[in-house]
Structure 1
């Protein structure tokens, strides 16, 4: 099975909820998508930039199953996110410090040049220059999928729009879907996976719904990373030529399990 190369951030996160859930944890879309794909049986590598504070991740139990060959180690702090959620579990406020991830675009473009025929997933989030990366992928006719992050989704969707018809799959939540439809018209897109929290997720092919799945009910511990978990799981199952309906059912189940599990803890600092 071909490897999935996931372009995006790996970060140190702080999540905050009104009921005092949350805390410091590992985060970043590149980590969650890669980890979910790996758990679902597909080899995956985060194409990311790690600072000194996270350079021990490849040896961390539970993360050592990932292919870390596409990471770039850089002196300085890794990306940090402070994520504040409202009582409905919707993201209300984000504070970011990108740190060494400012070098992500250059690293990603170099990786695509070295592996032009790989299969990619692009996490369309700052500080990545999404236009530069998607233009390179489209020019090389690479197989790629994309997702977005609601606080920056409108700007990123507009930036990505010229290349989205070339994407195999676009992952969005319900609010992002409305933005996407206004900007480009979802009937022009080969496959869009739309999530809606605890409500049914659907897959639309050129605007026509072809699959639907309601996530199983689980107590919610942490929502940050749930959409990334769904995306990685879906891509892994589709890569085995499973039906869209089966892939979506597996993906929603994986996301539901994820929100009920303990968050990924920050690794202990490397000694010496």
Structure 2
């Protein structure tokens, strides 16, 4: 089975909710996606840059099951995020200190050059140079999927537009999906998406998985419904990384050959379980 190389951040996160939920977590999209994929049976390697403050995490409990060969440890502090949510778990604000992850783009491009046959997932988040990474993946014929993060989605979806049609799968929440449709409409109208009219843009993307809070998760294939699954009711304790968990689990089940309906059902359950515990990913907290 292909190795899933996940390009993105590993970070120290601090989450805050109005009812005093939250706290210090080990997080970052690359870690959440890779950890979920590994738990679902895939060989998953975070392609990330961390500081000396997190240098010990490869030996940390269940995290030792990940393929850490693509991790770079640099002198300095790891990325750190403070994430505020409302009572229902909707994102309100994010404050970021990227630390040594400012070097992620060069590290990711070097990894792709050495391992063009990996199966890639690109967490399209700052500070990654998304166009550079997607251009290289497309040029070398790599298979890749992508996701976005709402605070930077408007900018990074636009930046990624020339390569979106080459992605096997795009993960988006409902708000990001609306932005995605707007950008694809704009690129079609400008002639960037060759041979595509504004009325055909939903079919340009191969597959899109759209999450929408407690409403059913939809899997669209060339703009048409392929599968859907409603998450079971559960009061979330910690929502950080839930979408990343769904993506990683679903990608792993696809690599195992599951049907779309079975892969989506399993991924939705994994994401729901993720939100039910205060520290979804094992590891050290802030020191």
TM-score by length of 2: 0.92
Aligned ranges 1:1-272 → 2 under 5 Å: 1-184=1-184, 185-263=201-279, 264=281, 266-267=283-284
Cα distance in 2 for residues equivalent to 1:121 and 1:265 = 22
Cα distance in 2 for residues equivalent to 1:182 and 1:6 = 27
Cα distance in 2 for residues equivalent to 1:165 and 1:21 = 39
| Change in 2 beyond 3 A, CA 1:268/1:227 | closer
Cα distance in 1 for residues equivalent to 2:40 and 2:208 = 20
TM-superposed CA distance for 1:262, in Å, is 2.7
TM-superposed CA distance for 1:219, in Å, is 2.5
- Please say if residues 49 and 104 of structure 1, whose CA atoms lie closer than 8 Å, have aligned partners that are also in contact: yes
TM-superposed CA distance for 1:186, in Å, is 2.8
Cα distance in 2 for residues equivalent to 1:19 and 1:37 = 31
Cα distance in 1 for residues equivalent to 2:84 and 2:282 = 18
Over residues 82-132 of structure 1, what are the superposed CA-to-partner deviations in whole Å (9 max), with x where a residue is unaligned? Answer: 000112211110100000000000000000000112110000000000000
- Please say if residues 13 and 26 of structure 1, whose CA atoms lie closer than 8 Å, have aligned partners that are also in contact: yes
In structure 2, the gaps of 5 or more residues are 185-200
Cα distance in 2 for residues equivalent to 1:232 and 1:212 = 17
Cα distance in 1 for residues equivalent to 2:127 and 2:268 = 28
Over residues 236-269 of structure 1, what are the superposed CA-to-partner deviations in whole Å (9 max), with x where a residue is unaligned? Answer: 1111221111110000000000000231365279
Q: How many residues align?
A: 270
Q: Secondary structure at the match of 1:47?
A: strand
TM-superposed CA distance for 1:204, in Å, is 0.3
Cα distance in 1 for residues equivalent to 2:249 and 2:282 = 21
| Change in 2 beyond 3 A, CA 1:268/1:225 | closer
- Please say if residues 12 and 266 of structure 1, whose CA atoms lie closer than 8 Å, have aligned partners that are also in contact: no
Following TM superposition, the consecutive aligned residue runs of length 4 or more in structure 1 with deviations greater than 4 angstroms are: none
TM-superposed CA distance for 1:218, in Å, is 2.0
| Change in 2 beyond 3 A, CA 1:246/1:90 | same
TM-score by length of 1: 0.97
Cα distance in 2 for residues equivalent to 1:119 and 1:76 = 30
